Amino acid sequence: MPMIDADGCLLNVSVEGRDRGPTLMLSNSLGCTLQMWEPQMKTLAQLFRVIRYDRRGHGKSDVPPGPYSMERFGRDVLAILDDLNIDRVHWCGLSMGGMVGQWLGANAPERFGRIILANTTCHYPDPVNWLNRIKAVKEGGIAAVADAIIAGWLTADFRERDPRTTARIKAMLVASPVQGYLACCEALSTLDQRALLPKIRSPTLVIAGRHDTATPLAACELIRSNIPRASLTILDAAHLSSVEQSHAFTDAVIGFLTQR
């Protein structure tokens, strides 16, 4: 996996799949590495050249000191594309990856074909939940909040039915570098990208989880209604719909990206 320099921050990047044809870039949720997309990779790599990466502060990427911002995350993505000599990609981002996708769609439209914004929001009107999480992580580490986060990421039914996957996702979260995680939480505490949405001209699909309490259906509908001609797909999942409904999620992504 190449390490790509984005303004002095080395980013862990994976490029897989077809050598020719369209390219799809995947962007992870907060507290996840590029491994979160494993359920999709076998199928997606047969159709696309797939780029995955660890956001700064995550996984095998560097953990530079904050503050971080959506613009900084977006410019990291553009640095990856420039380094790989790729002019244009499709985008699929979940949660925080969807927030980065909003910034990119509005500020670098020439670099993106179709955009998928999954289980995400454009605005947190009250920062208190993020400030409480920052305080808890500073005092007890990510493990102190992990069970509560997993309960929001995956439904109780899924956690009972698939404890192995649940444990894998929790381990990924707990292994996140604390300083990088905190810097991302601080960026999210002030998130307001509502003004960007009408500027997104790429064909856009919003994916929502019916049981998602982290970025509820109403938040996804707000995004859909403010992006011209965007569409909405609802999956029977909580926040990590790509994990909980992996086949349905993959089908939605492929159907949207290949439609004429």
Q: Is the dihedral of CA 164, 138, 144, 244 positive or negative?
A: negative
- Per-residue tokens: 259: 């439609």
Residue 108, classified by CB atoms within 10 Å of its CB into exposed (0-12), middle (13-18) or buried (19+), is: middle
The secondary structure of 190-224 as a DSSP string is T-B-GGGGGG--S-EEEEEETT-SSS-HHHHHHHH
* Residues 108, 31, 52, 110, Cα dihedral to 10°: -10
Predicted pLDDT of residue 6: 85
Predicted pLDDT of residue 21: 84
Q: Which amino acid is at 136?
A: A
Which CATH superfamily does the domain covering 3-258 fall into?
Alpha/Beta hydrolase fold, catalytic domain (3.40.50.1820)
* Ramachandran quadrant class, 102 (left: phi over 0; alpha: psi -120 to 50; beta: rest): alpha
Residue segments in the chain with a per-residue pLDDT below the cut of 70: 1
Predicted pLDDT of residue 1: 66
Predicted pLDDT of residue 256: 98
Phi, psi of 28 (to 5 degrees): -85, 165
Domain range annotation of the chain:
3-258
For residue 69, the tally of other CB atoms under 10 A from its CB is 15
